[in-house]
Amino acid sequence: MGANSSSISELPENEYLKKLSGAESISENDPFWNQLLSFSFTTPTNSADLKLLEEATISICKSLVEKNPRTGNLGSLIKVFLSRTKELKISAECQNHLFIWQAHNALFIICCLLKVFISRMSEEELQLHFTYEDKAPGSYGTECEDLIEELLCCLIQLIVEIPLLDITYSISLEAVTTLIVFLSCQLFRKEILRDSIVHKYLMRGRCLPYTSRLVKTLLYNFIRQERSPPPGTHVFQQQSDGGGLLYGIASGVATGLWTVFTLGGVGSKPTQQLEQCSPLANQSLLLLLVLANLTDAPDTPNPYRQAVMSFKNTQDSTAFSSSNPHAFQINFNSLYTALCDQQKSDQATLLLYMLLHQNGNVRTYVLARTDIENLVLPILEILYHVEERNSHHVYMALIILLILTEDDGFNRSIHEVILKNITWYAERVLTEISLGSLLILVVIRTIQYNMTRTRDKYLHTNCLAALANMSAQFRSLHQLSKLIFETQDLFSLLSKKHNKVLEQATQSLRGSVGSNDSPLPDYAQDLNVIEEVIRMMLEIINSCLTNSLHHNPNLVYALLYKRDLFEQFRTHPSFQDIMQNIDLVISFFSARLEQAGAELSVERVLEIIKQGAVALPKDRLRKFPELKFKYVEEEQPEEFFIPYVWSLVYNSAVALYWNPHDIQLFTMDSG
């Protein structure tokens, strides 16, 4: 780029870039590099400018792809960067701004070039470009074959060893971003990569010993949420002539040209502004998710996933297991606070899911917290705004609830937490409600939404499983008596749908008699789904009646008030067994109310129900197996998680720009 470039339009004719991509080999000791790396450039701040930047530089990148096998200039540039990083830690400590600035510029150019190379060739071809030197066309030396590994290892060392200061923020961010670019080969493959060259370098050899330190650093970057240095703390200030050597690289957001824009698509909503507040925290989290979801090698499990699964609290004094060399300690209180604060983003919710599902230390700590509402409320808010969230974000939130409700202590404690003024709940004013009641209310609302809109079996199965896990511990639902009627409204909806589909199936069957040509519509699947939901709801009510009837008089009140709704279920073969207890409760309390006389007030009815709950012999209620559902990850989870993680990278507000037409991993309308 050089000292004289200050706008995108000048790049195609920039003499330094043309020389870099030209036919002349440039030695790593050539003074040219000092000139190239002393560039000034106004950082683009939107996707339109970034698209212009790619269009302006594509001819240069194509020329380098063509000429590099003969010149080896890509390798020379990388060696220049590697030589300058050897003194980077000392430069940071000594406030050597110029040295850090040029090292950043070198890495920025490498990152931009890598992005183009990776999008246009296989990993094998990329590896060859790292080995080319100034030799005859087609030949390359064996001594340079590990330049990829050397660069990867250098980037990791930079992330874990360079102190995070205002003057190092930009190069730290660029190092994280460049690692993401290295791993972005997956974006340009339809199939899941299982034998990647870059993966191999990261999982063994020189990079392996840094595994736990890298994961720990990325987690702490997420926890700290360090903001970009403000404009007043640029490494260099622009000269009065409008664009000289010392133009600041930290222009506004202190990041590279490719890392400060928002790109929609892949089924996601526009990214939250919080990502732009701390681009390093966001990029670090994305890199962590990418690393933790790499596929295992045939002979080596993913060490980054092992590190995520095994780290412990700094207050945990127990010895580390010798079977896991990648374990480390981190402050769980700080991690918990960050997870609670950041749940508006898909990636933070995915991290929370991974930690609860895979790390028993984190799960135990979270379930022991006395302020669990700080974590649960953001998750419920995701579900409440289901129509505004992409389906993956909703799934992750539901699975988190399912994992939490596997614990009986959690199911008891949430009914003891009283909340006031839930402002995001718009249907009615919730001035006071227990966390347990709110959770039930939001989950039932999600089921209703699903049954009328998306009709996703996976979604309602997880909703019902969470309710079922909680059902034996339902407590104090009197704080929102209408909550029970939300359940009845759902039953009414399900009953109407069941009757409608059954009627359609019957009419279709009659219409098909005598006609061999017209195929029968398949109503069996719709009926099975509706009947499955109805039975699960009946089982949840039954579990509450058999385990905590005396705690929930409002449930009995609602059953009596809506008794006609259950008539059709008594004779249905799928529901007869589970209806026995519900029928018994309705008959028992109906008889007691008849004895008390007519014209009873609501208060009197509830009083009679409370008295009857004590008098009802428990042995008259049929015992069913305990409702307990445990989340089990599906086989080959990478088929879901890897495309999901890369869709988050693609859509991030501080991600790189990729041409959507080059993406192969997911379609643009699938999410």
- The per-residue pLDDT for 455 is 72
Mean pLDDT in consecutive groups of 10 residues from the start of the chain, 671 residues: 61 89 93 86 56 83 92 94 87 78 90 90 91 58 69 96 91 94 92 91 93 98 90 44 32 27 32 64 96 89 95 91 87 98 96 97 97 97 92 94 96 93 87 90 87 78 92 69 53 70 70 52 66 84 87 85 82 86 91 88 91 87 86 84 92 71 66 41
Alpha helices in 139-278 (DSSP H): 147-161, 169-183, 197-203, 211-224, 274-277
Angle between helices 147-161 and 211-224 (to 10 degrees): 50
Q: What is the DSSP string of 525-579?
A: HHHHHHHHHHHHHHHHHHHHHHHHGGG-HHHHHHHHHTGGGGHHHHS-TTTHHHH
- The per-residue pLDDT for 523 is 61
Entry pTM: 0.86
- The per-residue pLDDT for 286 is 96
E-only strand ranges, 95-155: none
Tokens 């230390």, located at residue: 361
Question: Are residues 378 and 340 in contact, defined by beta-carbon separation less than 8 angstroms?
Answer: yes
- The per-residue pLDDT for 207 is 95
Residues paired with 418 in a beta bridge? 434
Helix (H/G/I), strand (E/B), else coil: 419: strand
Q: How far apart are CA 215 and CA 636, in angstroms?
A: 23
- The per-residue pLDDT for 177 is 92
Phi-psi region of 599 (alpha: psi -120 to 50; beta: other; left: phi over 0): left
Q: How far apart are CA 31 and CA 85, in angstroms?
A: 18
Angle between helices 169-183 and 97-120 (to 10 degrees): 20
Q: How far apart are CA 44 and CA 337, in angstroms?
A: 33
DSSP conformation class of 450 = I
Question: Are residues 114 and 182 in contact, defined by beta-carbon separation less than 8 angstroms?
Answer: yes
Question: Are residues 258 and 662 in contact, defined by beta-carbon separation less than 8 angstroms?
Answer: no
Question: Are residues 228 and 15 in contact, defined by beta-carbon separation less than 8 angstroms?
Answer: no
460-490-268 Cα angle (round to 5): 40
